[in-house]
Structures are given as C-alpha cells and as structure tokens.
Structure 1
Amino acid sequence: MNTRTGPRWGHAVAGLVATALAVGTMGTAQAADPLVLDHGHIDAFHVAVENDELVLDLAEDVTGSHARHAPEDVLLHVKEDAWIADIPEQYPGSPAGYVLPLTQDPNLIWPGWDTNATAGSGHTDVEIDITSVNGPGEVFLYTLTGFGTVTSLLEDGGYELPGTLREETPAHTHAQWTFAEAGTYTLTAQATATNPDNGDTLTSDPATYTFTVGEQEEPAPAPDSLSIEGLADHYHTGGAVELTAVPNVATELDHYHWYTRESSSAEWEAAEGGEGDRYSGTAELDGQQVRAELLGDDHEVVAASEPVTIHVDDHDDSGGTGGKSGGSGEHSGGSGGDAGGTGAGGSTGGDTGGDSDGEAGGSGSDGGTTSGASSAAGSTGGDAEPQCFPVEEEREVPAEPSEALVLDHGHIDAFHVLTEGGDLILNLKEDVTGSHVTHSPEDVVLHVKPEALTEDIPEGYPGAPAGYLLPLTQDPNLIWPGWDTNGTAGSGYTDVEIDITSVNGPGEVFLYTTNTFGGAVPILEGGGYELPGTLREETPAHTHAQWTFAEAGTYTLTAEATATNPDNGDTLTSDPATYTFAVGDAPDGLATRGGTTTESVTVGQTADGEDCELSDDQLSGGGNLASTGSDLSPSWVIGASVALLASGGAAFVIARRRLAARA
C-alpha cells in the first residue's frame, strides 16, 4: 500500500468545484471553495472520541500530516486514470469501472478509515454506517486477503454500498473501491462507538462525502460582478442617460434588474427604463445613483454592480474659488500646530532640538546601566579571570534499564523517518499503547504470533509453500508493520531510502506488495522479494506491505535511512537502528533495554557563555543549585544576573531561577 503524499497536492478543478456547489444534503451544501484532493493518503472516515463526544471527520496527509477537515469541505476526485476496462469476472464492478486499488497508486486518492483515536476512551467498538449513496452508478467496497481473494468488509457480507463497516478494536484500514460510472456521488455516513465493558454508546453527527469520478466537461465560469458602461462625466438637466451592464465573463444569462435612488443616503427603488442589460433615463438630479443586478435561472442574484453617480452640471461656477482659498488657510493653520508640537520630545532646548536631547538622555541612562553591570560582575579590568556562574542545562544521560515493550498486534510504522533539528531520525511509531507513540527500535520487540502461520501459500508468492505471514491488509489480531516518511515533508529532504542492511535469523524474510487483482509485486530497489534490501520513497509516504518469515525464531534487522534533497543532491543519514522480530511462540528471556533520558544538570558558564569549572564551594552547597536550599546571597544572584544579561551571553537560566523555583 504505497502512499506518496508530499508537499505537492492536486489543484482545484473548476468544473469539479462547480459540480459540487450544487450538492446539498440534510441542509448542508458543499463548501463554496472545497479542498479538492485527487491523490494521496486519506482517512475518509476518521473517528475520534473528543470531550466525551464521538467525532466523524476526514484526515489526510496531502496538504499536511494528519490534517483534519469537515467532510463537507472536501471534494474527493477519482481521476480518469482509475478507469479499468477489463476487471476480472470474480471481482465486484466487473467488467469495467473506476478502481481505487487496495495497494495505493500514488497518482490516485487512497481513501480508508481510522478509528485509532478512540483508543483509551473505552468506546472502542466502532461501526461506520454508510446510510445512503447517491450517484450515477453502483459503488463497491471490499478487500483482498493475502493472495488476491475477494473478501467482504461490510457487516452484511456484501460488497456494494450502502452498508456498515465495523472495527471491534481501534484500527487503520484501507480497501479497494470501484465506481461503476463517471459522475458525482454523495455518501452519507454516521459513526457509533460502543464501550464493550458496559454497552454504553456514543454517536457522531451525520457527515456527507462527495466523490467526483472521471473527467467531466468544464462548464463556462459564471459571472460574479458587473460593471456599468456609458456613464458621461456630467449631464445637462434633461439630458439622456444611456447605460449598459457588462458581466465580468461572457454568459448566456440575460435577466437584469435596475435600481435608482435620489442620493447616496436615499432608499433604492426599481428603475423605470431598465430593459435587459440596458438602462435609459433622464438626468434630473445631481447625485442620483444607478445600479444593476444579474439574476440566475432560479432568480437568485449572481452578480451585481457598484452604484454609479449621475452628475448634473449646467456650468454655474460662482463662489467655487473662494471656498478653496478658505480651505488653504485651514491647512496653513494645521502646519503651525505641527511645528509647535515638534518640541514636545525634548527635555531642554528649542522646538527643533527636542528629539536630540531625548536621545542624549537615553544614552546617558544606557551608560549608567553598563557601569552597574561591570560592578556587579566584580570586573577589575586587566587580565582578571572571568567569574564562573552555575547554570542549568538539559543533557541526555543513561536511562534506567527496563524490559522491552512487546507489541503483538496493531498498527506499527516500524521504519518511521523524520527530520528534526537538521538531523534525520529513524525510529518506530505505533498506535497500540497510544496514538502515534514513538520509541527507539531497540526498546521494542515485534511479536509475530503463531496465528500468523500460513501453510498454503500459493506457488507464485514469496515464502511458498508455508510461513508466518503478516498480510497486506490489517489483521487486528496480528502486528501490521509498515513505514512512514511523511515526517520529512517541508524539510527539502524528501527522497528517502530505508536500507535494511542485514537480517539475522533462522530463515528468510520476504517483503512485497500485491497488484489490484492479486499477484506478488516487488517493492525493493533491486526488484527482489527477500531482505536485506532497500525501500525507496521518492516523496513523503505512508506504506504497508506483506511480510513472510520462513521459520519460527528471533530475527534482528539492521536498518539505516538516507534522505536526499532532490533540488541540490544534499543528503542526511540517520544512525543505524536494530529491530527485533520474535516469530512463533511468545518471546521470553528478553534482555533489558536501556537507552537515554533527558534531565537537568548544573554546569558552569562565564558571562560570555563559555564553559568553566565551578568552585568547590559552589559544588558543595555554597553555590550548588542542585542542593536543597542555598547559601547564595541575594546580592550575588542579582549581580550575576545583571552581568549575564549585559554581556549578551547564552547562559540565561541562572541561579536566580532555581532559587525562585524552590521558594
């Protein structure tokens, strides 16, 4: 299931948006400017418990990482590329249709569902009831078991929607979709979550999902504004006024309304003389205003003009010049007020020197501060050794040994790659103990339970005739390990290789995917199926695959990630990581795991931020910030604070902070 959901994302298709604008279900219309998604990883039915309420929305990794939206604000576009003319007879939707495959095509949307956000709430048994489907054809939803066998996901055992999806425990699931015809489909869904311990339920609000399938003819854009043409600079009383309303884009709409009012403060009235896009009137009042509206097929206003003003001027110019001269006198008086105000900034001196005196006073104050800082720091000039101050610092220290975390079911991104602080990190992320919990791989054991043993692997599949199989589609009773490089999005280092450099264990380990209608497909860079090998994601992606372990026992895999910036060829490489898979019976005798943790320690720094040695007195308690209580005098602390701040040094968390925290 390859998901490549990088910084790029599908642009809004005008025709699709126009189609969606007409869709309204239960009084909620498609958003006026919906987000159009035409590729990438999408959890269409994202179910979460928040503040004791059940929320059904949509989450996607196209515009960001786990970006969430109201379903009504998103348009899911199934491209023409999804059309398959030769669907095999045994598959739903045969003989032809638009197919969104179980194993993701990075050029298409990959819609699934996720109920992991109910974990920990108690309400973990979730039903997603797709109550209605409206569109030009049937919609089929199903999965394929390990070797391409069609398997129902709906509660009633069928393949066609409407229907109900059920996840008895928190899960993240993808499936194969088929839309029989091109056109627009709306799906209405509602989620119910049950607490299996007491039967209590939570129910979400209904949500409407819109899919547009195939390429559709792009309609001409509708006008959204009018301009008024033909207005003269002025008219003589009784002159003819001829105006034309012009839409901002060509349109077949021809139903206009015209309005006039006597002045900008008067009420609008329907105009006499308006016919179609033309208005004919007579100039009678100076300041009269005219405006126009264009109506749609349902008599709604689709475009409107700004008012235009008719000026009537019979060329009587007396008295105009005197008024203007009076205005100039007022401006001159205003300038005098400004000049008088200029002197307000100064403590001494004339109007023009106030600001300069103020600056000088400020400089004197700064000089006093500098002198005080030097005194507080105990500076004696010359070559005196800088004073050393205690400073708190966060540092990694060895962690207490602990038992490894054993994961034997659930969604796991074993190879989780991200950029952080300019470094490339390779760790493990899981949704078993919480949501998106990360660990050092060395602190986790991935247990492949005996139930994974498959004794009838078909001859054309890696690992035949038998082995421990972790299927491409999640089995909630088994671990579902994959990989996720979405954490590199936005860093520039988005072309990621995960190099599994060694495999040690009692048998072979195979890793591969399947195509739309069954059949093994290699995903390793060399085209093979057996590890070691290299996985590559050229753009940020979230991927799952099919694993087969040939024998029971303990396997260790060593991996390292390298991320390349495709624009300049620069690379980042992670530290190596070791993964342990225990296959078969429950693992025992696990070695304790260590790792590191972060804690606050006290170190010495000068006022310039340089490392230095603390005195014995400071370490023994006189200045030891880690002790209970302190012999540091307030004057010493204040002086040190001033010195550090005056120097601009990096050591800003000083003894004063530690003392205040203990007060």
Structure 2
Amino acid sequence: MTTRIRPSWRPALAGLTASALVLAGAVGTARAADPLVLDHGHIDAFNVTVEGGELVLDLSEDVTGSHVRHAPEDVLLRVREAAWIDAIPEQYPGSPAGYVLPLTQNPELIWPGWDTNGTAGSGYTDVEIDITAVDGPGDVFLYTLSGFGTVTPLLTDGGYQLPGTLREESPAHTHAQWTFSDPGSYTLDVQATATNPATGDTLTSDPATYTIEVGDPEEPAPEPTGLTVEGLADHYHTGDQVELTAVPDVATELDHYHWYSRDSAAAEWEAAPGGDGDRYVGTAEVDGQQLRAELLDEDHLVVASSAPVTVRINDHGGEEPGGPGGDSGGTGGDDGEEPGDQTGGSTTGGGTTFGTTTGDGTTGGSSGGGSADDASNGTGGTGGSTGTSGGGDTEPQCFPVEEEREVPVEPTEALVLDHGHIDAFNVLTEGEDLLLNLKEDVTGSHVTHAPEDVVLHVKQEAFTESIPDGYPGAPAGYLLPLTQDPELIWPGWDTNGTAGSGYTDVEIAITTVDGPGEVFLYTTNTFGGAVPLLEEGDFALPGTVREASPAHTHAQWTFTEPGGYTLDVRATATNPATGDTLTSDPATYTFAVGDTPDQLSTQGGTTTRTVTVGRTADGADCALPDDSSGGADGAGGPLASTGSGVPPFLMAGVSATLLAAGTAAFLLARRQRAARA
C-alpha cells in the first residue's frame, strides 16, 4: 500500500485561481493594462492542460506563489540586462553575442520552459506547442544541451530558431536555453494541439500571445514636480533691482518658463515682463508685490509651479525690519519652564480581590492589596461521581476517548518509478512545520509520497560508456542527464512550497549515502562544463544543496555501479529576516540502479485510523480497563462507548481538553512517521 502525504492547500488554491484566470482569459486576448512583470524565477510559459474536455494553454509561475496560473496576455516576461553575453562560442546559436537564458536556473533571471503534465490521465498526451509567429527587433533561438554540453535541437524541424514547433509525445516538464539577439520587445503567437495516441482524436487550444521585453528599459528622465524661487532678499529699497531664479526639484532639459506678478495677495496674476527663461529681473517699486514661476513641457502644459514670493520694501532710514520698533516674534514663555515640565500624581486602584475557592465553596483571600496567604491553602473539590475532593490522593479517573492516530499498515511492495518528472526532494511549509516528501508527475500530476514508499529505478539504458574527462563519474556510469530523457527518471528538487512562509532559504542535506558505488550530483554551465551544486563545492554525495530563495531545480546524476543505494536526507529552512529555522523529519530515499529491481524490501508505512485511548480529565495518558479499551493495545477492535463512565457535568471540559491533547498527539505521531515506518 502506498501512503500519500496529505496535500496542502496550495494545489487546491492554485486550481481555483487557474479556473478563474482561464474564464477571465476566455473573454479575449487583449493585453492587460497593467500586466504582471516577471523578471526572475521558475516559469512554465507554455503550460498545457486538459480541463473539462478542452485543451488549455496558459502560463504557470512560481514567483508570486506556487503554480500560479495566468492568461499569457496578462504577463510581461522581462529578460534583464544581466542576461547579455558578449562571447557566445561559435558553435552555439546566437553567436557571437546576445541575451542568454541558460538551461539551468539562474535565480537572477527568468527560467521559462513548458509543462504538459496537465494532460496526464486525459488520453490526449501527445502535445505539440506551435510557436507560429515571432515579432521583434532580432532573432530568437531555442535549443538544449546534451549531458556534456552538445547543442541539441528541440524543434520538430531540427532547427534552432523560432518560429517552430515543440513536441512532447508523453507528459513532460521541460526547460531550454534561449537566446535573443537584440534588445527590445518581442511577441510570440502560440497554439497547442494534443492528440490521443489510441484514437487519433485531437484537441486544440485557443491561440495565445506572449510578450517578452529584452534588456533593461531606458528609464525616462524624471519630470520636475516643483520649483523653488531663489535670490529673494530680506528687503529692498525703492528702485532696487530684483533678481530671481527658478530652480526645478530635479534636473531637467525643459527650459520653457513663465513668470507672473501681482501687487498684492488680493490682486489678479499677470505676466511679469521681467521673466526670461528661468531668470527674472525687475525693479522693487511696490511693497508686498508677489512673484511666481511655472515650468512647461513640450506640449505647453504646466509640469511644475513655485510658491509665491513677496518683495518687501523698507525705506525708513535704512532701519532693518525686525529691529527696534519693528515686528518681532515673542518667546514661548516667561518663566523658562519647558513644556511638559509639570508632573502629575499617580492614581492607584483598589478593591481588587485575590482569592481561591475553598473545599466548602466559600471564597477566601484578600482585597485592596492585602495578603492572600490565609486563603491560599484552600483547594477546590470537584464533587460529583469522581469521588475526588480538594487535597485528596485518589487516583484520577481514566476516560475512553476516540482520536485520529497514524498506525502501521500491512507491509507491501514499494511504488517503483522508472521514468518521468520527479521532484525527489520536495520541501514545503505546512503551518509551523517543514515537510520533506517526494512529488512526481508519473502516476498523476503533482502526486506526493513519503520517500520511504518509493523506489527510484535508474534503468540499464542510463549506462553511458564514454563520459568525457572532466565530468564526474568518467569514464563510465549510469547517467541521468540534466535535460529530461522520457525513458528515464528525471529527479530534481522543489522548494517553491516555502514561498510566502518567510522560511525561504532552504538547505537540503544528503547526510549519508549507502551503496555499491559513488553518486555524483552536478550541473553544467551555459556552454558546457561541470559545475558543482553542493555547498562544499564537491561533486560527490553526501553533501548539501542550498536554494537561497524558492526554486525548482534539476541536475545531472551519475551512479558509478549498479545496485541499491539509500540516501538519508533532511531539510532546514531559514527565515532570512529573523534567522529562525524549521527542520524537517529525516527521510530515506532508495535508488535501484541497473536491471529491474527485484526482492525489494517491503514498505510498511502508516495510515490514519480512529482509535480509543485513555485520558484523564486534564488530558494525561492513562490505562483503560481491558473491557473499555477496544483491545489490549487500544489501537484495534471495536470502539468503546465514550459516554459510559464520564460524568455529564465533565463532558464539555473533558471534550475540549482531550481534543487539544488528541490534536497534539496526532501531529507528534505524524512527525514520527518515518521512524515508525
């Protein structure tokens, strides 16, 4: 029996979101006024599913959440300037230079691929994704690399340049290497067709348009929003020259200014003849005259205005304003006392009663701050049929309670996976727990299992006789390539299930490896060559893989010898903002390398069952009498009645207490599952 780990809320939520988006997208393919801009992260740009007998082509991404789906027209894919490579080797498409999105994920760039696993189980599993038209300033190349960096076409016509058609004969999840020759905006017109191999029947999706912006867009120069008038003197004498300058709050090439004046705050504004560009030159003639400036754009629209400034004239013998006899501001007080210097008395409360209930039902204690020592010796008796009273030593009564508990199941053979897309190390948060399980798209879409319930079979076809020097495992071994081979398993890992939890910096520690040979894990760089993935900089397991932010990653694996391998794995997730961590339970993964595995160890696992256990009124474990336990171990046989032996006036409190205790016990049992299995 294969025990599946309970799915989290994410897939259900994603499905509901997807349905809403698909319905919204059906209205039309008009570009959203404010599209979602994605400039990094895992994106299944061409996401193909069968829903309600129809073929749906949309976009799925793990940037804003986990498997969030959108109409393609509602998303703008941005290729950052960081993707520019000015030395593409001659044998690679797009040489000698271009914007390259590599085959392996760079967390600073978008990682677009396609996914047809949503057709699994529908019968329409042979999918063609037809990029019918490309419009943009340059060429777009799409291809993959073999296990050792050899350029390999993905388009059905054997070419590398779009437009063209991609084909997945069976459900698959694929990423590729993209190259854009020039910066600018590109649009791709795409339509999918799925065929039922058994009948020849087909389904065709609605067409969709994808927009990709390549290179960092030139940010328009900010426009000023305000002006400051500088050069105003404290006062003028009649006939003095007034020289002012309008200064924008940001630098600008705009140079069209208007100046206005009025003789008082009550007068109308008029054009000031002394204004010339950002400069004003006039004569001080009217005390209280106001001046202001405006800056206009190419369309003669005002983009910035200044506040009015006032010209003050003082001809009184040269006496300065604010001197003796002039206007001056007063002080805040005449006694030097600072605001808030006064203090108020504190108010104390009284009449609070402290006490306990005594055995005879009276209340003892003290009030108004008095001592409660005299009353503290009283204890409250429960009375009733339990027979216990305050201060008594009677054994607490044990009540039968039903609760959900994980119990062992009959041992069965493991689920053997020998091909297809597998996220072997699937890390997600559920409440305050970090879970490590296995997720696969072989028996369904995003089906999860306890790792101990699965055997990953590396078939004999994976054996490679000529691993080049410089690659781990040379000269020969069982190779699972970086890009998916539909005949082999394609194991990777996924930490997108931590998105939104805060615990997004994940380390997956493969602590021990037991097997007949070595296991290597690595990736390749953009143009070939082995690149370590382990934190230690090594290629051989054991070791630790780190994803500093949510990611979905595949790698190249090599097993040097045939036989059975076990990997002990544990995940730890850190909240970068707080430094707090969550750690998963340990898990054991089994790989069978070479010929079809036989004599597999049976896999027990656990299942959830309602059992009867003993609990005291305060939730502590206790032993039930043999006639009320439903069996000597409390985990089998008929369920005992929860009504017998429980006083009615205790039922409400006991139920609440035991519900909390039962929930805690169930969560504890779930966390201990691997140890019991």
TM-score calculated relative to the size of structure 1: 0.67
Instruction: Say if 1:52 and 1:389 are closer, same or farther in 2 by CA, change over 3 A.
Output: farther
Instruction: Say if 1:123 and 1:376 are closer, same or farther in 2 by CA, change over 3 A.
Output: farther
Structure 2 unaligned segments of length 5 or more: list them.
1-24, 225-251, 255-298, 300-381, 662-677
Structure 1 residue 221, shift from structure 2 partner = 8.9
Q: Is the 8 A contact 2:629 2:640 kept in 1?
A: no
User: Using the alignment, how far apart are the partners of 1:460 and 1:175 within structure 2?
Assistant: 23
Structure 1 residue 420, shift from structure 2 partner = 3.1
Question: For residues 336-377 of structure 1, what are the alpha-carbon distances to aligned partners after superposition, in whole Å with 9 as ceiling and x for unaligned?
Answer: xxxxxxxxxxxxxxxxxxxxxxxxxxxxxxxxxxxxxx9998
Question: For residues 285-339 of structure 1, what are the alpha-carbon distances to aligned partners after superposition, in whole Å with 9 as ceiling and x for unaligned?
Answer: xxxxxxxxxxxx9xxxxxxxxxxxxxxxxxxxxxxxxxxxxxxxxxxxxxxxxxx
More helix by share: 1
Match of 2:493 in 1: 483
1:166 alignment partner AA: R
Q: Is the 8 A contact 1:644 1:652 kept in 2?
A: no
- 2:607 counterpart of 1:597: yes
SS at match of 2:656: coil
User: Using the alignment, how far apart are the partners of 1:474 and 1:410 within structure 2?
Assistant: 8
Structure 1 unaligned segments of length 5 or more: list them.
1-23, 224-249, 253-296, 298-373, 655-663
Q: Is the 8 A contact 1:25 1:208 kept in 2?
A: no
User: Using the alignment, how far apart are the partners of 2:115 and 2:602 within structure 1?
Assistant: 33
Instruction: Say if 1:529 and 1:617 are closer, same or farther in 2 by CA, change over 3 A.
Output: closer
Match of 2:41 in 1: 40
1:358-369 matches, within 5 Å, as none
Match of 1:77 in 2: 78
Q: Is the 8 A contact 2:480 2:490 kept in 1?
A: yes
2:592 alignment partner AA: A
Structure 1 residue 124, shift from structure 2 partner = 0.8
- 2:645 counterpart of 1:644: no
Give RMSD over aligned pairs. 3.5
2:658 alignment partner AA: A
- 2:216 counterpart of 1:180: no
Match of 2:133 in 1: 132
Instruction: Say if 1:177 and 1:105 are closer, same or farther in 2 by CA, change over 3 A.
Output: same
1:227-242 matches, within 5 Å, as none
Q: Is the 8 A contact 2:423 2:494 kept in 1?
A: yes
Question: For residues 208-252 of structure 1, what are the alpha-carbon distances to aligned partners after superposition, in whole Å with 9 as ceiling and x for unaligned?
Answer: 1110111222347999xxxxxxxxxxxxxxxxxxxxxxxxxx999
1:462 alignment partner AA: P
Match of 1:559 in 2: 569
SS at match of 1:392: strand
User: Using the alignment, how far apart are the partners of 1:632 and 1:648 within structure 2?
Assistant: 10
Instruction: Say if 1:95 and 1:652 are closer, same or farther in 2 by CA, change over 3 A.
Output: closer
Match of 1:505 in 2: 515
1:473 alignment partner AA: T
User: Using the alignment, how far apart are the partners of 1:533 and 1:653 within structure 2?
Assistant: 39
- Alignment equivalent of 1:408, drawn from 418, 423, 429: 418
Q: Is the 8 A contact 1:392 1:653 kept in 2?
A: no
1:630-641 matches, within 5 Å, as 640=648
Match of 1:5 in 2: none
1:237-386 matches, within 5 Å, as none
Q: Is the 8 A contact 1:608 1:649 kept in 2?
A: no
Structure 1 residue 455, shift from structure 2 partner = 1.5
1:211 alignment partner AA: I
TM-score calculated relative to the size of structure 2: 0.65
1:407 alignment partner AA: L
User: Using the alignment, how far apart are the partners of 2:548 and 2:538 within structure 1?
Assistant: 19
Instruction: Say if 1:511 and 1:123 are closer, same or farther in 2 by CA, change over 3 A.
Output: same
Instruction: Say if 1:220 and 1:51 are closer, same or farther in 2 by CA, change over 3 A.
Output: farther
Match of 2:207 in 1: 206
User: Using the alignment, how far apart are the partners of 2:387 and 2:210 within structure 1?
Assistant: 71
Instruction: Say if 1:649 and 1:387 are closer, same or farther in 2 by CA, change over 3 A.
Output: farther
User: Using the alignment, how far apart are the partners of 1:251 and 1:392 within structure 2?
Assistant: 78
Instruction: Say if 1:40 and 1:385 are closer, same or farther in 2 by CA, change over 3 A.
Output: same
2:100 alignment partner AA: V
Match of 1:495 in 2: 505
2:64 alignment partner AA: T
1:420-435 matches, within 5 Å, as 420-435=430-445
Q: Is the 8 A contact 1:47 1:191 kept in 2?
A: yes
Q: Is the 8 A contact 1:92 1:159 kept in 2?
A: yes
User: Using the alignment, how far apart are the partners of 1:646 and 1:575 within structure 2?
Assistant: 33
Instruction: Say if 1:625 and 1:101 are closer, same or farther in 2 by CA, change over 3 A.
Output: closer
- 2:448 counterpart of 1:438: yes
Q: Is the 8 A contact 2:417 2:454 kept in 1?
A: yes
Match of 1:102 in 2: 103
Structure 1 residue 564, shift from structure 2 partner = 2.7
User: Using the alignment, how far apart are the partners of 2:402 and 2:472 within structure 1?
Assistant: 56
Question: For residues 244-303 of structure 1, what are the alpha-carbon distances to aligned partners after superposition, in whole Å with 9 as ceiling and x for unaligned?
Answer: xxxxxx999xxxxxxxxxxxxxxxxxxxxxxxxxxxxxxxxxxxxxxxxxxxx9xxxxxx
Match of 1:583 in 2: 593
